[in-house]
Amino acid sequence: MKPADSGPSDGWNIAVDGVYDRRCRDFYNVVAVDLKTKLCIHTEAVRSSETGGIRDDLEKEAFRRVLLRFTDLGIRIRSVTSDHCLNLKSVIDELNNTLSWDMEWCLDHRHLSRLLVKALHEASKEDSCGSLTDWIRTIKNHLESAVRVGSWAGDRNNIKFFFNTCLYRVAGVHFWKKDDLTGPYISCSHELLGSDDPQPIPFGSPAYEKFKEIVLQERFQNDLCSLSLHGDIGQCKKKNALDRLYCPREAYHSPPSYSAYVGLSALHLNTLVLAEMAERKSGHDSNSQNRNGDHFVHRIDKNNVEHKWRREIKDEYLIDRLFILEANQTVEDEVSDVDEEFSELTHKFEEVVESQEMYFESDFDDVNTDPESGSVCLIEYIQLLSVIFASHCTALLLSHHLCVIIGDATRLSRRAVLCDARMIESDCS
């Protein structure tokens, strides 16, 4: 999918979200979603080792790769919606300056809503401010209505003006004179208030002054003018939740396999989105309380969707991995054949008397003979073989394996020594 003609308003509006995944924050996974179709259009997983383990550099590199990927495909990005991510904003500014782009950063209104609700909850704990608790849900819904109004008007300033009307509404005033805070709005847009609505908070009261302080904060007012008119990052959050199912923290995945399973997660979510586009049939409805238990949520359970793409790709990937494992198992079987002859090979040297007079001086130069070392037994076998098969080539081979043993590769060096011993025994016979 590409924009039809290039024009001032053409381009894609996407949502981007990043999350640290797996233990020790080894990966930083970024997902990009098209806000028009709600489809996951790109995922990018960057390892911390690629940026030296610096968190800010890791985030910037991941976001930069995602945005440059669309450029390689010839896709113009008009706006990028995210939460309060300063690293993403800096990357957008950097690309706009260096590549003469005009991408616009937008804030997810749900993220701002959570910050507002948290601030109101904290303020309600202060003296004479408990009445703010009754208004939290109303103010939250008012913010969502302001975003819809701004989206219809196509102007973010309308979001700020419409939301600021709550300064009059909480005080029980529904008509007022035109001012700079509410812009063109001089009355409330809600219907007639019922008996169940919260009690008004009088002007000048401690609760009202605290509420006014929160709403009129400079950063909050600027964030209102930066809210996205095209959607939120909810689809990105769903993708992150699916990633935790496909790549659990308890399981280890190599970088190639991790990227593959993250791609399967995107296919899983896109399959559901396409099914919704095809008007998937609805099942039974149910009502359940939300997490805070303050109101009910209406849920619609729908019929299952066959994830054909995801299963075909998963099966193909597992077949490839199984082929690689079978090839490695063949090598292991060959080495195990050598291990079985270990006792038979060493039996021929049991009657050889170990005496330091039989060894060369060079055999003791760089050898760690600490009894607590786990490699002493294998070192003694190497010394023994050096005495019996004292040739220049044999000494080079055995000294190489001795260095490997000192490097804490005990099992690997043991197999190598046995293989060399078989070769030497074959030459002597």
Rounded to whole angstroms, the Cα distance separating 334 from 285 reads 61
Of residues 300 and 331, more confidently modeled: 300
**pLDDT above 90 as % of the chain:** 39
pLDDT reading at 133 higher than 80: yes
DSSP state of 66: H
Give the CATH class of 12-108+231-246+256-276: alpha beta
Query: If you count DSSP H runs as helices and E runs as strands, how many of each does the chain have, helices first?
Result: 15, 7
Of residues 387 and 310, more confidently modeled: 310
pLDDT in tens, 319-337: 877 777 777 666 555 545 5
pLDDT in tens, 3-45: 433 333 578 999 999 988 655 457 899 999 999 999 999 999 9
What confidence category does residue 277 fall into, taking pLDDT thresholds of 50, 70 and 90? confident
* Residue linked to tokens 């399967």: 264
What confidence category does residue 281 fall into, taking pLDDT thresholds of 50, 70 and 90? low
Q: DSSP of 218-235, one letter per residue? A: HHHHHHHTTB-SS--SHH
Closest C-alpha to 224, from 214, 236, 237, 234: 214
- Cβ density class 218-235: b for 16+ within 10 Å, e for less: eebeebbebbbbbbbbeb
Q: Is-contact 310 271, C-beta < 8 A?
A: yes
pLDDT reading at 418 higher than 70: no
pLDDT at position 275 is 82
Q: Which two tokens stand for residue 190?
A: 């809600």
pLDDT in tens, 385-404: 344 334 333 333 334 333 33
Q: Is 161 helix (H, G, I), strand (E, B) or coil?
A: helix
pLDDT at position 218 is 94
pLDDT at position 23 is 54
Rounded to whole angstroms, the Cα distance separating 213 from 93 reads 31
Of residues 234 and 426, more confidently modeled: 234
What confidence category does residue 47 fall into, taking pLDDT thresholds of 50, 70 and 90? confident
pLDDT at position 188 is 85
pLDDT at position 181 is 92
- Cβ density class 62-101: b for 16+ within 10 Å, e for less: bbbebbeebeeeebbbbbbbbbebebbbebbeebeeeeeb
Range in 35-49, 125-139, 225-239, 342-356 the model is least confident about: 342-356
Rounded to whole angstroms, the Cα distance separating 29 from 34 reads 17
Rounded to whole angstroms, the Cα distance separating 67 from 72 reads 9
pLDDT reading at 53 higher than 60: yes
Q: Is-contact 185 165, C-beta < 8 A?
A: yes
Rounded to whole angstroms, the Cα distance separating 357 from 377 reads 19
Q: What letter represents residue 335's amino acid? A: V
Of residues 182 and 23, more confidently modeled: 182
pLDDT in tens, 216-263: 999 999 999 999 999 999 999 999 999 888 888 777 777 778 888 888
Q: Average pLDDT, whole number, for the chain?
A: 75
Contacts of 308 (CB under 8 A, 6+ apart): 271
Rounded to whole angstroms, the Cα distance separating 371 from 194 reads 87
pLDDT in tens, 60-82: 999 999 999 998 998 999 999 99
The model's pTM is 0.66
| Alpha-helical runs (H) found in 74-135 | 86-99, 109-124
Domain positions in the chain: 12-108+231-246+256-276, 109-224, 352-428
CA atoms within 13 A on the CB side of 339: 11
